[in-house]
């Protein structure tokens, strides 16, 4: 038998060959989220990740919203209208032999509750910083959540094609404001309109950007740091400055140590432009190597290794009516160990019942594909007739409960008044389902005879979303 590295001992449903295959599959999983302040470029970077990962053929193809931007991950009506990303969804693509699960999180502060829960399902985070604005408030909040959870962070300083802050100033700001040492993995060659490439410190290579269409993958070619081509591209003075800076980093910069990165004590920093694609290739190549495979999870009965052969996972998100045509409810499950097989019977510890996971999907914007098998680290969408709740675990045989799925106290309240009293039943159904998604909490004032429900939320924008969804999905107007 192969050695198992878990502290919780679940029954092993696999033979040696199956277990070997499981371990190989789990080792290729990378599950990550992008954290940033709104407008730092998360939508743009997400789209480019999909483009470079071959999941989209042309960036911008899915960005058809008038007067705003839209990625493959933004699919809800209100997101289209408001130009904000409200709900978190999951996008899957393969990159250099890794199976990537990108957890898309809403950037707006009012939806941070959803983001915090989604981060509980991530193993790595990309922290996106706008080089003009530096570290912004929402970035600080999300960074702290990642730090609390011990999630390793890779930093991408975006918009280098604009005249932003000096790279040293940015590193200093990240270190000062967030309290994490920065280790630049690459260094920008030029800035603003003369940002032409990056010097890759880890590979000791200078990469000059080939230019080209923003909607397509564009290459970079290797040159010497003292080549005339580079001097011509950014000017003699800028080149001399780059050489000095690279030398300075070699002697005075924070060294990168993988162990420290994995324990959140250092962040590797990459410079680039998600919009022009300059610097994306080297960033993605390194990111695929940096991002760790699924980590062990803490359960109420001990630590569970990601490659434990018995299947287990937890629900971190529930979304009703993802497909308005089918009026269904999808529970997003992060698999924490073992192998998922469509149709398998699993234990639902909260109710003690056995559930058959017959309808399972993976997502790419509105496109769903049926998933027959998935492994620890993957996210699967489970069709849910109303049984599952956020934080529920599902497992094979022995019950396990996962720790650390956050719950928040609401800070804003509104009383719901129904325009048409005949729609009370629909209102109840809508509010029940939407509150089970965790975006709002439902209360009733016991002291009053009238039983108008009260909604509580962390951010006021959530009320607007609920009002909109009640109208669009349940045909109920509220005042």
Count Cα atoms within 13 angstroms, Cβ side, for 221: 6
Helices (H) and strands (E) in the chain, counts: 12, 26
- Closest approach, Cβ 364 to ligand G4P, in A, equals 18
Q: Where are the alpha helices (DSSP H) in 263-318?
A: 280-290
- Strand ranges (DSSP E) for 290-375? 297-299, 302-304, 312-320, 329-337, 339-341, 345-348, 353-356, 360-364, 367-370, 373-375
First to last CA, the chain: 64
Q: Which of 161, 308, 378, 437 binds ligand G4P (CB under 6 A)?
A: 161
Cβ closer to ligand G4P: 364 or 374? 364
Any contact of residue 43 with ligand G4P (CB under 6 A)?
yes
| CA-based nearest residue to 8, from 306, 262, 391 | 306
Q: Are 59 and 130 in contact (CB under 8 A)?
A: no
The rounded radius of gyration (Å) of the Cα atoms in the chain is 24
Rounded Cα distance between 232 and 416, Å, is 65
Any contact of residue 456 with ligand G4P (CB under 6 A)?
no
- With CB under 6 A as the contact rule, which of the stretches 42-50, 415-423, 460-468, 471-479 interacts with ligand G4P? 42-50
Contacts of residue 432, defined as CB under 8 A and 6 or more positions apart, other chains included, come to 442
Q: Which of 23, 30, 42, 329 binds ligand G4P (CB under 6 A)?
A: 42
Q: How far is CA 476 from CA 235, 415, 420, 423, in A?
A: 63, 15, 8, 7
Say if strands 124-130 and 153-158 run parallel, antiparallel, or are unpaired.
parallel
Any contact of residue 159 with ligand G4P (CB under 6 A)?
yes
- Closest approach, Cβ 273 to ligand G4P, in A, equals 4
- Closest approach, Cβ 21 to ligand G4P, in A, equals 38
Classified as helix, coil or strand, 143 is helix
State the binding string over 263-292 for ligand G4P (x if CB under 6 A, else -): ----------xxx-----------------
Specify the length of the chain in residues.
479
Rounded Cα distance between 415 and 398, Å, is 43
Any contact of residue 339 with ligand G4P (CB under 6 A)?
no
Any contact of residue 158 with ligand G4P (CB under 6 A)?
yes
- Closest approach, Cβ 133 to ligand G4P, in A, equals 11
Cβ closer to ligand G4P: 214 or 348? 214
Any contact of residue 167 with ligand G4P (CB under 6 A)?
no
Contacting ligand G4P within 17-36 (CB under 6 A): 36
- Closest approach, Cβ 83 to ligand G4P, in A, equals 8
- Closest approach, Cβ 165 to ligand G4P, in A, equals 14
Taking every pair of Cα atoms in the chain, the longest distance, rounded to a whole number of angstroms, is 82
- Closest approach, Cβ 401 to ligand G4P, in A, equals 35
Q: Which of 38, 181, 349, 404 binds ligand G4P (CB under 6 A)?
A: 38
Any contact of residue 214 with ligand G4P (CB under 6 A)?
no
Q: Which of 69, 203, 359, 368 binds ligand G4P (CB under 6 A)?
A: 69
Contacting ligand G4P within 76-115 (CB under 6 A): 107
Rounded Cα distance between 45 and 60, Å, is 12
Q: Which of 15, 16, 39, 169 binds ligand G4P (CB under 6 A)?
A: 39
- Closest approach, Cβ 284 to ligand G4P, in A, equals 14
Q: Which of 26, 33, 40, 185 binds ligand G4P (CB under 6 A)?
A: 40
Cβ closer to ligand G4P: 136 or 401? 136
Classified as helix, coil or strand, 24 is helix
Cβ closer to ligand G4P: 158 or 393? 158
Query: What stretch of H or E contains 344?
Result: none
Question: For the sheet containing 345-348, what is the strand order?
Answer: 353-356, 345-348, 393-395, 312-320, 329-337, 379-383, 360-364, 367-370
State the binding string over 397-436 for ligand G4P (x if CB under 6 A, else -): ----------------------------------------
- Closest approach, Cβ 50 to ligand G4P, in A, equals 13
Owner of token pair 């709900």: 87
Cβ closer to ligand G4P: 41 or 391? 41
Binding residues for ligand G4P (CB under 6 A): 36, 38-44, 69, 107, 158-159, 161-162, 273-275
């Amino acid at each position: 038998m192969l050695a198992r590295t878990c502290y919780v001992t679940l029954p092993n449903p696999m033979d040696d060959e199956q277990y070997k295959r499981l371990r190989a599959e789990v080792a290729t999983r990378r599950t990550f989220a992008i954290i940033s302040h709104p407008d730092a470029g998360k939508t743009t970077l997400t789209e480019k990740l999909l483009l470079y990962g071959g999941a989209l053929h042309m960036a911008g193809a899915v960005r058809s919203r008038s007067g705003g931007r839209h990625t493959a991950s933004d699919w809800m009506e209100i997101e289209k209208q408001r130009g904000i990303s409200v709900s978190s969804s999951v996008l899957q693509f393969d990159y250099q032999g890794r199976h990537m699960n990108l957890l898309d999180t809403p950037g707006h502060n009012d939806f941070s509750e959803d983001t915090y829960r989604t981060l509980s399902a991530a193993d790595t985070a990309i922290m996106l910083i706008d080089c003009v604005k530096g570290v912004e408030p929402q970035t600080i909040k999300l960074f702290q959540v990642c730090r609390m959870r011990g999630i390793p962070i890779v930093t991408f300083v975006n918009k280098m094609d604009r005249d932003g802050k000096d790279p040293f100033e940015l590193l200093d700001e990240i270190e000062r404001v967030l309290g994490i040492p920065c280790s630049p993995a690459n260094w920008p060659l030029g800035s603003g309109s003369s940002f032409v490439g990056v010097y890759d410190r880890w590979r000791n290579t200078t990469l000059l950007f080939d230019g080209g269409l923003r909607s397509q993958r564009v290459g970079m070619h290797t040159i010497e740091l003292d080549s005339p081509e580079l001097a011509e591209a950014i000017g003699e003075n800028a080149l001399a400055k780059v050489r000095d800076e690279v030398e300075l980093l070699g002697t005075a910069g924070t060294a990168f140590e993988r162990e420290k990165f994995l324990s959140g004590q250092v962040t590797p920093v990459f410079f680039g432009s998600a919009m022009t694609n300059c610097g994306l290739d080297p960033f993605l190549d390194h990111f695929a190597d940096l991002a760790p495979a699924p980590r062990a999870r803490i359960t109420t009965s001990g630590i569970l290794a990601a490659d434990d052969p018995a299947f287990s996972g937890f629900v971190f998100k529930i979304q009703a009516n993802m497909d308005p045509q089918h009026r269904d409810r999808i529970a997003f499950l992060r698999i924490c160990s073992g192998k998922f097989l469509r149709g398998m019977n699993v234990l639902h510890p909260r109710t003690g019942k056995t559930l058959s996971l017959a309808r399972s999907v993976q997502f790419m914007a509105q496109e769903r594909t049926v998933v027959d098998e998935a492994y620890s680290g993957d996210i699967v969408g489970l069709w849910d007739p109303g049984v599952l709740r956020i934080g529920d675990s599902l497992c094979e045989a022995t019950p396990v409960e996962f720790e650390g799925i956050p719950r928040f106290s609401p800070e804003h309240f509104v009383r719901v008044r129904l325009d048409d009293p005949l729609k009370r039943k629909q209102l109840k159904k809508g509010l029940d389902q939407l509150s089970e998604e965790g975006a709002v909490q439902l209360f009733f004032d016991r002291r009053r005879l009238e039983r108008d429900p009260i909604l509580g939320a962390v951010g006021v924008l959530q009320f607007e979303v609920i009002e909109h969804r009640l109208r669009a999905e349940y045909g109920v107007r509220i005042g």
